[in-house]
Amino acid sequence: MAPKAQQPQREKITIPKLYEMKARGEPVSWLTCYDYPTALLMDRAGIDMILVGDSLGMTMLGYPTTLPVTMDVMITFTAAVCRAVKYAFVIGDMPYMSYQISKEEAIRNAGRFMAECGTDAVKLEGGARMAPVVRAITDAGIPVMGHIGLTPQSYTQLGGYKAQGRDAETAKKLIADAEALEEAGAFAILLECVPAPVAKIIHERVKIPVYGLGSGKDVDGQLMIVHDMIGMFERFTPKFVKRYVNLSPILLEAFSKYREEVKSGQFPQPEHFYSMAEGELEKLLSALKRRRA
């Protein structure tokens, strides 16, 4: 019998490995995650990158936008994910007003992700106008991913949650933003809801990895919000989402069946009970009887 082929040893994903993947044209698989058990499964599945996104404000906490999410909230969720992950590259998403006030505040908050959670990098929104902040954080030794296109923290300025760069003028600005982020030291860029032709141009013009969320195939990897892909966020479904499983009706059926069985007395059954050691019940009843007497 021929010996079994040895499986390649898994290694922790690092920035150099992300650059190697870009060089050989291997797309990066990337998902958001907000909790320990889901992070365990993603890591076992071989997902390359995990983003603990401020999208948790909507998917996990029920807010209408991401704006109410604070640094303390992000630290709690991000630390849980990091405790589960051995191999994936984990990115902490800097929430609203955690990096806009000053460079010093931005460095301090980015450092919290690294020191208190153990992330591999942080992500922040904004192009050329945020380049000085990106430079300050990277100069402090903290890897930064840029994020341009639809930037949810600025949704009011953008006129809502809609694609960006659909005309030549705004597309030109996105290209300039990407180049400014690269110049500022960002190790990678996320393009959210950018037309595929514009994403392709950006991918060709910068040397760092460019990842897409609803931005076509001509990028170095794809991000998806986990609750969108598993059917656990029903408020709206973006055009670019592919649903791989719909857990909502499955869970609803399980919860409904549990309720029915409790109401009818079908649950619990003896196999779900704990028992006492042999003879101990008799001792207990005898002791209680003596106490009454």
pLDDT tens column, 45-79: 999 999 999 999 999 999 999 999 999 999 999 99
> Among residues 241, 213, 186, which one has the least CA distance to residue 30?
213
> Among residues 128, 129, 124, which one has the least CA distance to residue 113?
124
**What gap in Å lies between CA 65 and CA 24, rounded to an integer?**
38
| Main-chain dihedrals φ then ψ at residue 13, nearest 5 degrees | -75, 130
What residues are labeled active site? 192
Q: Is the pLDDT score of 1 beyond 60?
A: no
Report whether 50 contacts 91 (CB < 8 A). Answer: yes
- Identify residue 109 by its one-letter amino acid code: N
**What gap in Å lies between CA 10 and CA 12, rounded to an integer?**
7
Report whether 237 contacts 245 (CB < 8 A). Answer: no
- For the segment(s) 15-245, the CATH number from 3.20.20.60, 3.30.1330.90, 3.30.230.10, 3.40.50.150 is 3.20.20.60
What pLDDT score does 43 carry?
98
Q: Return the biggest CA–CA distance within the chain.
A: 93
Report whether 233 contacts 204 (CB < 8 A). Answer: no
**What gap in Å lies between CA 273 and CA 60, rounded to an integer?**
33
CA 168 centroid distance within chain? 31
pLDDT tens column, 148-167: 999 988 766 666 667 888 99
How many residues does the structure list for the chain? 293
Listing DSSP states for 6-52 in one string gives PPPPP----HHHHHHHHHTT-PEEEEE--SHHHHHHHHHHT-SEEEE
User: Could you identify the residue written with the tokens 């003028």?
Assistant: 169
Ranges of each domain in the chain: 15-245, 250-292
- Please state, as a whole number, how many other Cβ atoms lie within 10 Å of the Cβ of residue 170: 15
Over residues 17-37, the mean pLDDT reads: 98
pLDDT tens column, 210-261: 999 999 999 999 999 999 999 999 887 888 899 999 999 999 999 999 999 9
**What gap in Å lies between CA 254 and CA 244, rounded to an integer?**
20
pLDDT tens column, 169-222: 999 999 999 999 999 999 999 999 999 999 999 999 999 999 999 999 999 999
CA 106 centroid distance within chain? 20
Report whether 202 contacts 194 (CB < 8 A). Answer: yes
Helix axes 131-139, 168-184, angle to 10 degrees: 20
**What gap in Å lies between CA 237 and CA 139, rounded to an integer?**
38
Report whether 129 contacts 158 (CB < 8 A). Answer: no
Q: Is the pLDDT score of 5 beyond 80?
A: no
User: What totals of helices (H) and strands (E) does the chain contain, helices first?
Assistant: 12, 8
